[in-house]
């Protein structure tokens, strides 16, 4: 999401030994819990909404050895064949909360 919206990225930081830490996003990112099927349903619902940007995390990304293999597996998979592991929704808080308000915090 930080690539799509660089204005939310923090600056690069260093620790006491000058170790470098790339900037992370400066907005709250609650991590909520949902089943793969619930994430899949949510992804379908919000995908065509211009007000919400969606990043989906699916099983073939986790299984692939490199990005090209991931791209190939994704291209060959139908939505129903994918196991959704996570999703990131970015947009107006009220609209995002409409889709996520009933989800518990991941423990």
Decide if pLDDT at 2 tops 70. no
Rounded distance between C-alpha atoms, residue 104 and residue 35, angstroms: 11
Chain segment 8-53, per-residue pLDDT in tens: 888 999 999 999 998 888 888 888 999 999 999 999 999 889 899 9
Q: Note whether 22 and 41 are same-domain residues.
A: no
Q: What is the pLDDT of residues 49-106, one digit of tens each?
A: 989 999 899 999 999 999 999 999 999 999 999 999 999 999 988 999 999 999 999 8
- Stretch (H or E) spanning 89: strand 84-91
Considering the domain architecture, whether residues 57 and 41 belong to the same structural domain is answered as yes
> Do residues 36 and 65 both lie within one domain?
yes
Same domain as 70, residue 42: yes
Q: Which domain holds residue 8?
A: 1-28
Q: Looking at the predicted structure, is the pLDDT value of residue 107 above 90?
A: no
pTM (2 decimals)?
A: 0.77
Residues 18 and 37 in one domain: no
Are 20 and 37 in a shared domain? no
Q: Across-strand partners of 25?
A: 9
23-45 burial string, b = 16+ CB within 10 Å, else e?
eeeeeeeeeeebeeeebbebbee
- Quote the number of domains for the chain: 2
Structure token pair of residue 8:
């939310």
């Amino acid at each position: 999401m930080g690539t799509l919206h660089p204005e939310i990225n923090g600056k690069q930081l260093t620790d006491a030994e000058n170790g470098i830490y790339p900037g992370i996003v400066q907005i709250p990112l609650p991590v909520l819990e949902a089943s793969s099927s619930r994430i899949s349903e949510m992804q379908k619902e919000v995908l065509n909404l211009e007000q919400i940007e969606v990043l989906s995390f699916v099983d073939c990304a986790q299984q692939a050895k490199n990005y090209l293999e991931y791209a190939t597996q994704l291209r060959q998979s139908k939505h129903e064949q994918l196991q959704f592991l996570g999703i990131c929704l970015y947009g107006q808080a009220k609209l995002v909360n409409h889709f996520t308000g009933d989800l518990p915090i991941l423990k």
